[in-house]
Amino acid sequence: MKKIIFLIVFCCFSCLSTLSSQKKVVIFWDSSWSMEQRDLDQELEYLNQYYSESSNNKTTLVIFNYTILDEIIFDIEDGNWTKLKETLKNVTYDGATSFSPLLDYSGFDNAFLFTDSFQNINRVKPTNIAEMFYIINSNKSNDQSESKLLADINTGKYIELNKNSKKDTSNSLNNKNDNVPPTNYTLNQLDKVEIKGKSKSNFKNKDAIGYAVQSIDGNQIDLSHSTLASAIQGKFSGITVENSISKFYARPRSTISGNIYGLVVLDGVPQARSNSVTGRGASVPWIHPADIADITVLKGLAATNRYGSEGVNGVILITRKSTTFNTKKTLENAALLTNNDYDGKVKIKKGVKLTSYLKELKKNNGVADAYKKYLNQRNTYKDDLQYFVDVYNFFKDTNPDLAHQVLSNILEKDKIDLSELKSLLFVLSQSNNKAMFYNVSKKLLELYPNRIESYYDLAIASIEVGEHQKALSLLSKVYNKLIEKNQDLTPFAKIVKDEIRNLVYKNKLDINKLDNSLKKNVVYDARLIFDWSYENTEFEIQFVNPQNKFFKWKHINTEENETFKNEIEQGYNKNQFEIEGNGKGKWLVNVKYIGNGSFKKKNGVFLKCRVQYDFGKANQKEETHLIKLSNKWQEEQFFTINI
């Protein structure tokens, strides 16, 4: 009996000893699309050598791309890893790459990361996963510096199987690799056209205004002049206009050594001021004299009551005929515009064009079968961004996770340009995957830190993921930089200011360092921000109001259009429109694609509009509209809004 008890106790201790001596191993298997090019035989041979030396262990297999796709635990006994090997042979390769899924793992004896280290979204450097960390690559194309850095910070080893002999590979399990460590925030002057119909009437009661006022209407302007500066020269007493409308000053001058130039306000929007001290000339959008509804000049200290120190040198208020679409009109007022009755002859898009690849996907026996068809198609269309967008839309209602995985392959391209990244961001702005939307915004800023809109876009994405204080910090930095450059009255600065005010109004944030002018909320019936994926895109947007009157805004590259040039130079592709006052009812927004300059890629151009209803109010809501511009000179219905 004692012998039996002894044997039982001995067996128990033996089992416990075996369990305690088992190594805890984790294999991170990169299954992103680029890893389809891996040398699987070499990697399996590497593992075969490892399991011949470490014959008993518990191995956790983690299959990942930018997220965890599968996690399986294998008990390896006597070096038998057949089930693990078969699993690795049957992995499907798809999607973008991030090491962020690895951050949740720790406490292992050995960790093996099989990857080419091409992180293309949410770049991180995981640490403290295991006592010994191996990074193994078999791809001819790989980010060697990233792999070596990751090995270095983990006191691990980097193994490139394509360059190592079998003997070297075996030795790598016991020898440390050498250390090979690896490496402006510039915000520029902006200028933009903004259309705003805020006035209640086209009639000005000069006595009620309370300023020193002079006004003329469009009938008093000689249309033989090619520029507005020459057209108004001598029309106003005490006003001198140089070669540009932005270079005017009132007499007597209010300063001896400071900037003498006054402020131009176009359709209610203050423009950038020229600076007589630095010699920097600000650009005001080119205006044909025939488009002038009226011009008013404000002079004297009284004008500063409205425009502050910016108005001390005088203010020129310009109202264009083409922007009076949102005013309270009588028939006489409407006569300011002629031939602007909407005839309704616009093409309405009817769903997605059914391409050959979509026709094939539709002939399926379920999601799994359709996905297999996609995998077979994928390499044929690898350079076609629209293909991945279409397949994303195909899967998004039945399997959103799979749809986003397909869409993320856009990031797997060897070289992804700004237009493609912005197009991806546009599509994600309509999805519920806020994390991917945020991470792509981060990537945009990483790749294009000198584009001012990169900071703005990341701020918007930060709001989407609930990081409101970070968003405020980003927007404040942008605005402060604009002030430094004397650009705080530009239309883009106004967009940033509106965003800051709205953010402060809706959230409890630390605003101690915020300028008081940014703490006051602003309210609109609707705010529309247009954004296009390629900077040289030429198009025309038509707004049709509830009274069936239309107004057109043209984004066309002409010698006179300084705004178009500034967008390219300063790094933004955005324009804002506001509706407030008497614009209640149904609005129609149409678009006509004109061209994209030298842009020859077949991916085309995407145009996005972010619409915010009841902006600045408690019941504010938002929607996003997206259209691909492909049919030149054809006017298409973009979207409708109800106010």
10-residue averages of pLDDT along the chain (643 residues) = 47 42 91 96 96 91 98 95 97 97 95 96 93 95 91 92 60 46 32 36 41 74 74 82 84 70 83 83 74 80 68 84 43 38 67 85 94 96 94 96 97 91 96 96 94 94 95 91 67 84 87 81 91 91 88 80 73 87 86 77 82 93 94 91 91
| CATH number corresponding to 416-642 | 1.25.40.10
CA atoms within 13 A on the CB side of 205: 6
What pLDDT sits at residue 230?
80
Residue 55 near residue 76, CB atoms below 8 Å: yes
d(CA 461, CA 479) in angstroms, rounded, equals 18
d(CA 125, CA 113) in angstroms, rounded, equals 12
What pLDDT sits at residue 560?
62
Number of neighbouring beta carbons within 10 Å of residue 301: 11
Identify residue 170 by its one-letter amino acid code.
S
What pLDDT sits at residue 493?
78
What pLDDT sits at residue 608?
97
Helix H or strand E encompassing 640: strand 635-642
CA atoms within 13 A on the CB side of 342: 20
Identify residue 263 by its one-letter amino acid code.
L
Residue 106 near residue 84, CB atoms below 8 Å: no
d(CA 256, CA 83) in angstroms, rounded, equals 85
pTM, to two decimals: 0.72
**Domain map (residue ranges) of the chain:** 23-172, 203-323, 416-642
Residue 26 near residue 130, CB atoms below 8 Å: yes
Residue 21 near residue 103, CB atoms below 8 Å: no
Give yes or no on whether 23-172 and 203-323 have one common fold: no
| CATH number corresponding to 23-172 | 3.40.50.410
Residues 203-323, CATH architecture: Beta Complex (2.170)
For 124-187, the three-class secondary structure string (H helix, E strand, C coil) is CCCCCCEEEEEEEECCCCCCHHHHHHHHHHCCCEEEECCCCCHHHHHHHCCCCCCCCCCCCCCC
Q: Look at the block and give the residue holding tokens 């294009």.
A: 448
Number of neighbouring beta carbons within 10 Å of residue 581: 15
Helix H or strand E encompassing 424: helix 418-429
Q: Which of 216, 274, 222, 212 is nearest to 248 (CA)?
A: 274
What pLDDT sits at residue 183?
29
Tell me the CA end-to-end span of the chain in Å, nearest whole number. Answer: 91
* 179-182: Cβ within 8 A, 24+ apart: 179/148, 179/152, 180/145, 180/148, 180/149, 180/152, 181/148, 181/149, 181/152, 182/145, 182/146, 182/148, 182/149
Identify residue 552 by its one-letter amino acid code.
K
Identify residue 477 by its one-letter amino acid code.
K
d(CA 24, CA 26) in angstroms, rounded, equals 7
Residue 64 CA: distances (Å) to CA of 115, 255, 432, 553: 10, 66, 21, 47
List the structure tokens of 575.
């324009």
d(CA 229, CA 243) in angstroms, rounded, equals 6
Say which residues have a Cβ less than 8 Å from residue 632's Cβ, sequence separation at least 6. Answer: 593, 594, 595
